[in-house]
């Protein structure tokens, strides 16, 4: 297990380094001068030049890359050009929305998807399977921003049960925690639906495949009830593809939810990157993308460890 982990760690560092080079290079060739963007149409050239010097944009490319790299190694991700506050603080603020939201959506989608998938697999080819998979198909096909708007019209505009959008912050008291939680309910539901649909389909096909294996026949032959065969033997062996998909989904939910964040005007990570790109706040884009690369690598590593947990054969490090 240890050499296996060391090997993974080395490849993670190499991936990070490569990603940093790509991110920096791409942003370098992107047109648009941050100083000009900040000062607007009628700004005088002198004011723009002054600002460029203040922001350190007049330094050579290589120097800026190395300084940035050195900063990250020492835990300093730099300061935002537009917000003039440390990138790490901005990320922390946004994670307070994005992380709970991603967890809520993932939990919700798992709670829905796994039983539906197993249920459909057990009734493979029968009407219940067709209906469940038809619904899943529907869930994949519905654009989530449309579904989100629908939820808003029904539950926020119609019943006025939850706010139509925005995020009040977690606050100090229980009631403000409650309000923050309420603000995340509709976004979490709209994010969970398509994820659940995909996960249900994956679960079903994985379980169906396992159901054809010899050990299932053995389990049945020794007289285990269908429930035990399905949940203990089939699902557990079908979990690897399911975990893989869940890992990918979590990474997506963390930063790829810009559309849903826009519909609910939530201050999440996706919007931070989007805003930073359009304002050419390169320091923020670079820093956040690198943090995301790191978190995706970490999630994959955790998924790998989970493989080993569900499948003892993988523990030997092959």
Partner 1 sequence: MRMFARLVGAAAMLAVSASAALSSRTDLVLGVVLEPPHLDPTAGAAAAIDEIVYANIYEGLTRIGPGGDILPALAEDWDISDDGRTYTFKLRGGVKFHDGTVFDAADVKFSLERAMAEDSTNAQKVLFSAIDSIEVLDPVSLKITLKQPQGSFLYNMAWGDAVIVAPESADGNKEKPIGTGPFKFENWARGSSVTIVKNADYWGEPAGLDRAEFRFIPDAAAAVTALLSGDVQAFPNLQAGDALAQIEADLRFKVVIGATEGETILAINNGKKPFDDLKIRQAISHAVNRDEVILGATNGYGVPIGSHFSPANPAYVDLTATYPYDVERAKALLAEAGYPDGFSATLKLPPPPYARLGGEIIASQLREVGINLEIVPMEWAQWLEQVFTNKDYDLTIISHTEPDDINIYARDDYYFDYKSPEFKAVMTELDATADPEKRKELYSQAQRIIADDAANVFLFQLPKIGVWDAKIEGMWENMPIQANDLTSAHWVD
What is the contact surface with partner 1 in residues (CB under 8 A)?
A: 30-33, 36-44, 46-47, 50-51, 54, 82-85, 90, 93-94, 149, 152-153, 156-157, 159-161, 163-169, 262-265, 267-268, 271-272, 275, 278-280
**What's the rounded Cα separation, in Å, for the pair 243 and 113?**
12
Question: Which residue, 79 or 220, is less far from partner 1 as judged by CB?
Answer: 79
Question: Which residue, 207 or 254, is less far from partner 1 as judged by CB?
Answer: 254
Closest by alpha carbon to 252, among 296, 287, 285? Answer: 296
CB 15 within 8 A of CB 297: yes
- Helical packing angle, 235-255 and 174-211, nearest 10°: 140
Q: How far is the CB of 36 from partner 1 (least distance, A)?
A: 5
Question: Which residue, 90 or 118, is less far from partner 1 as judged by CB?
Answer: 90
**188: which 2 tokens?**
């979490």
Query: Residue 84 to residues 156, 235, 278, 289: CA-CA distances in angstroms?
Result: 35, 50, 16, 18
Q: How far is the CB of 238 from partner 1 (least distance, A)?
A: 35
Backbone angles phi, psi at 191, to 5 degrees: -75, -35
Q: How far is the CB of 174 from partner 1 (least distance, A)?
A: 19
Question: Which residue, 247 or 268, is less far from partner 1 as judged by CB?
Answer: 268
Question: Which residue, 40 or 223, is less far from partner 1 as judged by CB?
Answer: 40
Question: Which residue, 202 or 284, is less far from partner 1 as judged by CB?
Answer: 284
Q: How far is the CB of 69 from partner 1 (least distance, A)?
A: 25
Tell how many helices (H) and how many strands (E) occur in the chain.
Answer: 14, 0
Q: How far is the CB of 55 from partner 1 (least distance, A)?
A: 10
Closest by alpha carbon to 144, among 302, 293, 5, 256? Answer: 256
**What's the rounded Cα separation, in Å, for the pair 53 and 298?**
37
Q: How far is the CB of 268 from partner 1 (least distance, A)?
A: 8
Question: Which residue, 83 or 307, is less far from partner 1 as judged by CB?
Answer: 83
Q: How far is the CB of 51 from partner 1 (least distance, A)?
A: 5
Query: Residue 73 to residues 15, 49, 61, 70, 76: CA-CA distances in angstroms?
Result: 15, 30, 19, 5, 7
């Amino acid at each position: 297990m240890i050499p296996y982990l060391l090997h993974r760690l080395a490849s993670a560092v190499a991936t990070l380094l490569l990603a940093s080079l790509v991110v920096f290079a791409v942003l370098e060739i992107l047109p648009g001068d941050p100083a000009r963007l900040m000062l607007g149409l009628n700004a005088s050239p002198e004011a723009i030049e002054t600002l460029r010097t203040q922001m350190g944009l007049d330094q050579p490319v290589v120097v800026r890359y190395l300084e940035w790299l050195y900063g990250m190694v020492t835990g300093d991700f730099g300061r935002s050009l537009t917000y003039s506050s440390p990138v790490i603080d901005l990320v922390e603020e946004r994670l307070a929305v994005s992380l709970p939201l991603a967890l809520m959506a993932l939990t919700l989608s798992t709670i829905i998807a796994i039983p539906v998938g197993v249920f459909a697999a057990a009734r493979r080819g029968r009407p219940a399977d067709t209906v469940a998979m038809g619904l899943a198909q529907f869930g994949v096909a519905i654009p989530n921003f449309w579904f989100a708007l629908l939820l808003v019209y029904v539950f926020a505009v119609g019943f006025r049960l939850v706010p139509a959008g925005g995020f009040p912050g977690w606050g100090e008291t229980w009631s403000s925690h409650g309000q923050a939680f309420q603000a995340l309910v509709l976004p979490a539901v709209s994010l969970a639906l398509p994820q659940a649909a995909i996960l249900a389909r994956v679960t079903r096909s994985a379980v169906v495949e396992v159901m054809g294996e010899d050990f299932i026949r053995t389990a049945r032959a020794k007289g285990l009830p269908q429930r035990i065969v399905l949940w203990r033997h089939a699902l557990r062996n079908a979990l690897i593809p399911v975990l893989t998909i869940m890992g990918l989904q979590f990474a997506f939910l963390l930063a790829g939810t810009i559309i849903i964040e826009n519909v609910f005007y939530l201050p999440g990570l996706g919007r931070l990157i989007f805003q930073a790109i359009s304002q050419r706040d390169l320091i923020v884009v670079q820093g956040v993308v690198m943090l995301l690369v790191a978190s995706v690598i970490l999630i994959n590593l955790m998924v790998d460890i989970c493989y080993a947990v569900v499948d003892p054969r993988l523990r030997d490090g092959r």
